[in-house]
Each structure stands twice: as structure tokens, then as C-alpha cells.
Amino acid sequence: MATQTQTTTAAPAQSLFQTAPYIPPDAIFALTADYLADPSPKKVNLGQGTYRDSNGQPWVLPSVRKSRQILQDQQLNHEYLPILGHAGFRKAAAKLVLGNSLYQPLEKKIASCQSLSGTGALHLAGLLLRYCRGTSETPTVYIPTPTWSNHFQVYSSLGFKCQPFKYYDSDRKGLDFESYISALKSAEPNSIVILHACAHNPTGCDPSQEQWREIGATMKERQLFPLFDAAYLGFNSGNVDNDAFAIRYFVQELKMEIGLCLSFAKNMGLYGERVGCCFVVTETESAAKNTQSVLEMLQRSEISNPPAYGAKIVTTILEDEELTQLWFQDLITMSSRIRSMREALYNHLNTHKAAGTWEHLIQQSGMFGFLGLSPEVVRTLKEQYHIYMADNSRISIAGLNPSNVEYVAQSIAECLK
């Protein structure tokens, strides 16, 4: 008697990632992709914050060119860096930010670690601050609004409660200092506050030195921890010492412990090399030694060790007096061009009788300008005039040049009629 073979149909396989949600692309990178796909010869990219020369092209700094040549002549190898990164780079970076006279007495109270640019430094600082709290409740991170969008993403991903506070007054088109101080006075002790060291992104509105003094005094009184995001030192004013005022004031005058997240993407044009540094100034030498050991452990578990080439470029520049002075001139070149384009946009907006007042544009500083346009106008500029900017009308002033600045101003004026 023949036996009948039974066949069973397997259930459809379920993906392990079935529950993964779709997350929209990062707004600025998506905007750049739209710009690149636009065939219009008139298109203007005012979105991504990267420096461009007067011809709208990427600019390799002369100091960086010379540094690369020196490294090439040294028969550059590609060996691993230590876990904490390039030792010469870490020292030179801290010395640059604090200045020689302040760095020397504090050297043994500094814990530092090379990072994947500013974003990596912010993330590493978050890991450190979370680790050092142990089993106690994770502190709140106070973040100004508006701010660089990644601030919220970095710290919420690490489990911090992110508390926004008002930084910008859209009616007055300037810093809302009263709200700023009020938020600090109501913050819980031991909370962390994100501070833009200079060239606030996206508004371009920085506190005055007197306002920084009040911010610092309030934070010290409230026992708040200052975490500086320093992405534009020297790039803002053309002078590192001027741009580092707040950092040095908190350390030297207020005697506060601080965290600092430093990037050389903007001020040396090393965007793709991802060169950054996370460091903290501590109260004691033993605290610095122990903190650095924690940074080393965290770095090992995250990326093992950082990339070498960009760090070697920066170190070569900062350890050579002639190259350092050449870099200072590069900073003046970049900041001066951006300042001139800011003034040109302001003048053309007035010439074309753009509705409203535009003084706020020349009162701002740094790479970005905050225009104060509605989302509808921003959309019209993109769709009809091929001018690309962030939805909140933040523009990269570096995207302007003599051949497109009047077109941008005239287009804005037409949209506002």
C-alpha cells in the first residue's frame, strides 16, 4: 500500500527589522541632495554650512596645503593612533582654546580625548557625564532654541532629558537675554547647559562679553555645568582669542569646571577629516587623571581609536609658528569674505526694497544668517527661484558670492511683495 507524502507550507519569513520605523532624512543633507539634483543654472545653495570661496568653490586653506606637503615629505604612514588620539594634537588644541598663559598652570587638570569632529566630541562628553553620575538620576541637558538640530539628537539618544529654553526673540530678531537668564535661574542644580562658544548656529546672535559674565555668574550660583560647543573658534571674528572669550572667562575668572567640544571642520576647512577634541577642565589633578582614564575606556568601546590624518594636519599647523601665523591669515580671509557678503546682501535687500527691516542681518555674525522668513516664502524661493535654505530661513552666508548675492536679494524682495 502506497504512503501519501504530506507537504507543509512554511509561514512567510518575518524580518527581524519589521518594527523599524521610517525616519525622514536629515533636513540639511536632504536639502543639499535636492540642490545637487536641480538642473537650473541659477540655483544657489544656502543650506549646508561649509565655506565657499568667491567663485562658489570649496577652498583648501593655504596653511593646510603647506601642512599636507610637510606630511607628505615625511613619508606619512598609516599606523593606528593611541586610543585617546594624537598626543601632540590634544595638547595643541587645548593650548589654542585656553591660550598659553592659562594653559600652563592648568595642564595637569585637563582631561582630553581626540574625537570624530564636533559631533563626536559632543557625544563623548555626553557619555562621560552620564558615566560619572553612576547610578544617580541622569541630569537634564538645557539646550537653547533654536540650536543646531543635532544637539537634541545626540543627548536624547544617550538618555538625557533635553530641556529647551528660549534663546532667540523672533519679534526683536535678536538674543532673548531675559528668557536666557530666567531659564538658568530656574534650572535644577547639577544640570548641564549647552553653550555656543561663538557664532551661534543658526541665529548668528551671540551674547556680549558683559552678558557672558552674567550668564557665567548665574551658572556658578546655580551649580550648572557649562558644556561649550566650539565649532567656529577663529572663524567667527577672524581671531581665536576674541572667539574664546567665554570659555576662558568661565575657567580663569569664575574658576569653574567646564566641558569643551572642539571642531576643526570650519576653521581649517577639514570637513571630511572629522577632526575634533573633547576635553574637560577639572578641579584637581587626580580628577583629571581619572577622568582621562574614563574617556579612554569610552573611546575604546565606541571607535577604538580616532583617524590620524586630519589630526596630523592640525598638529603640524599649530606646532609651527610660521604655519600658525599663515592659518591666522586664512581665518581673516574667510571671516572677512563672509562679513562682506553679509553686508552685500543687506545692501541689495534695501536696494530692491525688500519688505521689512534688515538691520538684524548685519548685527549677526559668523557663518549663518537668520533671515526671519516664513516657511511659505522659503518654499517659494526653492521651487520658483532655485534658492535653497533651511525651513527656518537660516542661510549659510558662505554660500553667497559676488555673482549670486544680488539675485538672492532680488528674489527675496519679489517673494515678499
pLDDT of residue 335: 95
| 196 and 237 in a common domain | yes
pLDDT of residue 135: 62
pLDDT of residue 5: 57
| 193 and 143 in a common domain | yes
Catalytic residue among 66, 266, 312, 382: 266
* 254: containing domain: 80-319
pTM reported for the whole predicted model? 0.91
Let me know: does 313 contact 275? Beta carbons within 8 Å: yes
Domain-terminating residue out of 319, 347, 379: 319
Catalytic residue among 59, 66, 148, 382: 148
| 170 and 55 in a common domain | no
Q: Is residue 46 part of a domain?
A: yes
Q: Is residue 218 part of a domain?
A: yes
Contacts 24+ apart (CB under 8 A), 163-171: 163/187, 163/191, 167/200, 167/203, 167/205, 168/144, 168/203, 168/205, 168/370, 170/372
Q: How far apart are CA 291 and CA 67, in angstroms?
A: 32
Mark whether 327 is an active-site residue: no
**Structurally, how many domains does the chain consist of?**
2
The pLDDT tens digits along the chain (417 residues) read 555 556 666 667 788 898 999 988 888 888 999 999 999 999 999 988 889 999 999 999 999 999 999 998 887 788 999 999 999 999 999 999 999 999 999 999 999 999 999 999 999 999 999 999 876 788 899 999 999 989 999 999 999 999 999 999 988 889 999 999 999 999 999 999 999 999 999 999 999 999 999 999 999 999 999 999 999 999 999 999 999 999 999 999 999 999 999 999 999 999 999 999 999 999 999 999 999 999 999 999 999 999 999 999 999 999 999 999 999 999 999 999 999 999 999 999 999 999 989 999 999 998 999 998 999 999 999 999 999 999 999 999 999 999 999 999 999 999 998
| 183 and 51 in a common domain | no
Mark whether 53 is an active-site residue: no
Q: Is residue 65 part of a domain?
A: no
CATH number at residue 392: 3.90.1150.10
Other residues' Cβ atoms within 10 Å of the Cβ of residue 68: 16
Q: Is residue 328 part of a domain?
A: no
Nearest to 296 by CA among 180, 128, 184, 414: 128
The continuous run of DSSP H or E covering 259 comes out as strand 258-263
Classify burial at 7, counting beta carbons within 10 Å of its beta carbon; exposed 0-12, middle 13-18, buried 19 or more: exposed
| 142 and 97 in a common domain | yes
Mark whether 229 is an active-site residue: yes
pLDDT of residue 34: 92
Catalytic residue among 176, 229, 243, 330: 229
The helix/strand/coil state of 384 is helix
CATH number at residue 284: 3.40.640.10
Domain-terminating residue out of 266, 293, 319: 319
| 302 and 186 in a common domain | yes
Q: Is residue 263 part of a domain?
A: yes
Give me the residue label for grid cell 577672524: 238
Domain-terminating residue out of 268, 293, 319: 319
